[in-house]
Structure 1
Amino acid sequence: MANVLCVLYDDPAGGHPSSYARDGLPSLPHYPGGQTLPSPSALDFVPGQLLGSVSGELGLRRFLEAQGHTLVVTSDKDGPDSEFERRLPDADVVISQPFWPAYLTADRIAKAPNLKLAITAGIGSDHVDLDAAIRHGITVAEVTYSNSISVAEHAVMMILALVRDYLPAHRIVREGGWDIADAVARSYDLEGMHVGSVAAGRIGTAILRRLAPFDVHLHYTDRHRLPRETEEELGLTYHPSAEDMVPACDVVTVNAPLHPETEALFDDRLLATMKRGSYLVNTARARICDRDAIVRALESGRLAGYAGDVWFPQPAGPDHPWRTMPHHGMTPHVSGTSLSAQARYAAGTREILESWLAGGAIREEYLIVDGGGLAGAGAHSYTATAQG
């Protein structure tokens, strides 16, 4: 029998919801491009309810305990005295989310002799030391595509919020004012701007596709160039590197995985090449941007705005400078954990567990590390070198 250790974020301050704003979710036939949605044998939850917090348990308890497995769910994940640290030596499976990551460092993996499977409930497994997972024969899997569109929608929202300077205008209304001049002093139209994406995988391409109707000029860079028909359909300009692309753009959106090639990519040097008054949106990973360089770029006016929902560490401390820097539109890491996304990544987590517990093969597109090496989506997105 397996010991499953699941780390989820805390319940709402007022307790787990007893009712919801909407009844149910729209039905999706498949993901864009045709990939099938998660297909577990059954679901023990109602889609559209809160599953990603501790009480939601990703809808896994009944399924696991009916088969004699043990499920421990906690939000206490940091430090040597955390429940996660105490339970880890006995865990066969660890489940975590990018929004509240249980960092599986090399040291922690060395303390987990029974660990065989690490599941990301969502997408993005850089909170796992992939090299250590490879050395220890641990399978790493994530629910690929489960929240890609959720993140893409969030990024488009943030681009519009920054360019139109929505947040200060909303604050004026909440404070009882009607200061139109103040509300529009930093507000522009997105139309006609040059918008570039660093990486054009599922999320990056979805953002570009959603921005095309705004009559903008679209750019991208990626180590895997898109098919010519996609470039022609969306009017994309390809650039061989971020260094080549960002000077041409008014808005840059970051959608790359974190690995040694992208860590601290947006440093003082690269930011200095961007147009004065440009905007940067990062819903990928915080460490792709140099934390203090972002603050300096906003204070100097090199950047007119920065928005994102990724921080390091997560959760970010109350004194994190991104909380108080000027002209930001930061949110906690919520872009990929809408109630819609939760239904998909909870179902996908169960699908992965069903396959693994039965001794079967996990879907290829869900795999990051398997069989002692990068596999599936991991072979496309990561490099087998030390993870930051």
Structure 2
Amino acid sequence: MKIVAVLYPEGETDGGGPPVLATAENVLGLRPFLEEQGHEIVGTSDTGAELDAQLADADVLITTPFWPLYLDEERIEKAPELRLVITAGIGSDHIDEEVAERHGITVAEVTGSNVVSVAEHNVMQILALVRNMIPAHRQAVEGRWDVADAAREAHDLEEKTVGIVGLGAIGARTALRLKGFDVRMLYHANHRRDPAEEATLGVKYARLDDLVAESDVICLALPLMEGSRALFGRERLAAMKPGSWLVNTARGAIVDTDALAEALESGHLAGYAGDTWYPQPAPSDHPWRTMPRHAMTIHYSGMTVEAQQRIAAGVKEILQAYLAGRALPEDYVLVDASAA
């Protein structure tokens, strides 16, 4: 059986630190396990013609939302032997699941693998914005020392209203971590939590428009799906409180690219942070790279060393079941072609 893994390029390194499991070279540490059983695994970072050549006779594809392969009908038709696609992480919006199902392809992802990692990143980026950390850090690098300039837009998080849009595993874990900051927390989600869960998380349900109007900080923690693409467009960004902050580690396409840049340039928003872009990898001229008042990172929030270990273990668990002809772990399956 042939497995193709589309993962990060090795990147620049000084040889220090633990190995990065999610690279095309290290293929999540799966090579010994697969080759001992007589299977072939090919690691690549290419998403063009080289990949299409590898997919022509591939049985399994492993991809990741952090270095996404956009798997549409045109690409799936070039892979007639493909029967399983595994997302090494959480969030499979780069895969057209409807087309996959129609072609008899099962889609799975490693549910829960980077929940902690992304929730911690959310809190870090909220604090970076509210405390005006990026301009203060830039002063340190540039040899400046202008406390008044850095302090002018630095605030305490305590007693602010934080709105969380989406209260799944990541949103809930983010709320738990913010609870200790003595903030007022609102949330909006398609499925409302029961009162006991709301009390544990320290959150109160609100309609989306009310959450947007009342929040000093908004954190997006919902999947990219029908109804959430450009959910924060020009009109909704304008409805946010003047001087508020927006954090998005969910998916870049949930926020309108140009409208966001305009809201920051005008000063209506005090800042934007996140690590998700559209498309990914973001081109060098992406407007979010140069817009003012931002604290963006590349998409790495869910790829801590610990998250990579959990992802690798989950992908291996999926492969072990698939190669043995057993049902895949139910909580990992997004599209079950075997049930069709």
Shorter-chain TM-score: which interval? over 0.9
Q: Which residue of 2 aligns with 1:301?
A: 267
SS in 2 for 1:10: coil
Q: Report whether the alignment pairs 1:14 with 2:30.
A: no
Q: Which amino acid aligns with 1:62?
A: P
SS in 2 for 1:272: helix
Aligned partner (choices 90, 103, 122) of residue 136 of structure 1: 103
Q: Which residue of 2 aligns with 1:183?
A: 150
Q: Which residue of 2 aligns with 1:351?
A: 317
1:243 offset after TM fit, Å? 2.6
Query: Gaps spanning 5+ residues in structure 1: where?
Result: 21-47, 375-388
Residue correspondence of structure 1 range 43-82 to structure 2 within 5 A: 49-77=19-47, 79=48, 81=49
Residue correspondence of structure 1 range 244-263 to structure 2 within 5 A: 244-263=210-229
RMSD: 1.4
Rounded to whole Å, the distance in 2 between the matches of 1:368 and 1:244 is 32
Query: Gaps spanning 5+ residues in structure 2: where?
Result: none
Rounded to whole Å, the distance in 2 between the matches of 1:373 and 1:192 is 50
Q: Report whether the alignment pairs 1:195 with 2:195.
A: no
1:233 offset after TM fit, Å? 2.7
1:234 offset after TM fit, Å? 3.2
Q: Does the 8 A contact of 1:134 with 1:372 survive in 2?
A: no
Q: Does the 8 A contact of 2:162 with 2:183 survive in 1?
A: yes
Q: Which amino acid aligns with 1:357?
A: L
Number of aligned positions between the proteins: 340
Q: Does the 8 A contact of 1:266 with 1:290 survive in 2?
A: yes
Rounded to whole Å, the distance in 2 between the matches of 1:137 and 1:244 is 43
Q: Which moved more, 1:154-163 or 1:171-180?
A: 171-180
Rounded to whole Å, the distance in 1 between the matches of 2:337 and 2:122 is 35
Q: Which residue of 2 aligns with 1:338?
A: 304
* 1:19-55 deviation digits (Å, cap 9, x = unpaired): 42xxxxxxxxxxxxxxxxxxxxxxxxxxx64201222
1:111 offset after TM fit, Å? 1.7
Q: Report whether the alignment pairs 1:216 with 2:183.
A: yes
Instruction: Report sequence identity in percent.
Output: 53
Q: Does the 8 A contact of 1:142 with 1:368 survive in 2?
A: yes
Rounded to whole Å, the distance in 2 between the matches of 1:120 and 1:98 is 7
TM superposition outliers: structure 1 runs of 4+ over 2 Å: 371-374
Rounded to whole Å, the distance in 2 between the matches of 1:118 and 1:244 is 39
Q: Comparing both chains, which one has the higher relative contact order based on Cα–Cα distances under 8 Å and sequence gaps of 6 or more? A: 1
Q: Which residue of 2 aligns with 1:265?
A: 231
Q: Does the 8 A contact of 1:135 with 1:372 survive in 2?
A: no
SS in 1 for 2:107: strand
Rounded to whole Å, the distance in 2 between the matches of 1:280 and 1:195 is 10
The structure-2 alpha-carbon separation of the partners of 1:373 and 1:193, relative to structure 1 and needing over 3 Å to count, comes to farther
Q: Which amino acid aligns with 2:236?
A: L
Q: What is the TM-score of this pair, normalised by structure 2?
A: 0.97
1:12 offset after TM fit, Å? 2.6
